[in-house]
Amino acid sequence: MWKTGKALYYFAAVAALAFFAFGGRGDLLGWLNALPRSDCGANVGWVSPADLVSAVVCNKEANPTVTLHTDKSGLPTVWVIYSLEPWSLSASHAHGAFDGHLRALVPAIFQHFPQFLKIDVVGTAVFTDLRGNSGSMYAVHAVFTRANAQSIHWDKIEISNVAILADSYWSRPGF
């Protein structure tokens, strides 16, 4: 009984420490993934949006692709598509990582590349259908326009509010 009580005491102490260290937000994984990392090139000048995305996502397994084009309404747009598999311990971890990446990507792209007026970011994941066929499909999709992004104080928002602040935010049902 004494060993079990002691273990529970230590577990509670570590849990309380983590809770207070991260402000009780429960977004530790997303917060960690949103931090710039010097080993990924986050502290150097970016030549293209693709360089910036690689620096923020900072995971080769995510295989980020960046496409530059003009959308239907004529807005110069950056499309970012990457895999959420490296952060897919659970759907909530993947959502936290995606929202953390959005919080870092959106203001950085608009700040460093003023020619773009819209950003579409897509996170993909592997899903299995009823017949057992697996494939990579869109899991989460967010759209931000420059006007909306400039009205947000990115350093002061909670990661969990990114979905609410987006011009458009879609998540696959069940993900």
Q: How far is CA 32 from the centre of its chain?
A: 10
At 144, phi and psi to the nearest 5?
Answer: -130, 135
Per-residue pLDDT of 58-73, as tens digits, reads 777 777 888 888 888 8
Among 4-13, 34-43, 47-56, top mean pLDDT goes to 47-56
For residues 33 and 13, the model is more confident at: 13
pLDDT at residue 169 tops 50: yes
pLDDT band at 29 (very low <50, low <70, confident <90, very high): very low
pLDDT given for residue 160 in this prediction: 87
Helices (H), the chain: 2-21, 28-34, 49-57, 91-112, 146-150, 162-165
| Angle at which helices 91-112 and 49-57 cross, to 10° | 150
Q: Considering the chain, what is the average pLDDT of its residues?
A: 77
CB 171 within 8 A of CB 162: no
Query: Which residue, 122, 119, 58, is CA-closest to 86?
Result: 58
Predicted confidence (pLDDT) per residue in 112-166, tens digit? 888 999 999 999 998 888 898 888 899 999 999 999 999 999 989 998 899 999 9
- Averaged pLDDT, 85-111: 87
Higher pLDDT, 167 or 88: 167
Q: Is the pLDDT of residue 7 over 70?
A: no
pLDDT at 151 (0 to 100)? 95
CA–CA separation, 22 vs 37, rounded Å?
19
pLDDT > 70 in the chain, percent: 73
Contacts within 8 Å (CB) and 24+ apart, 50-55: 52/105, 52/108, 52/109, 52/112, 52/113, 53/80, 53/82, 53/105, 53/109
Q: What is the pLDDT of residue 164?
A: 94
Strand order across the beta sheet in which 134-145 lies: 65-70, 76-83, 118-128, 134-145, 168-171
How high is the pLDDT of residue 67?
83
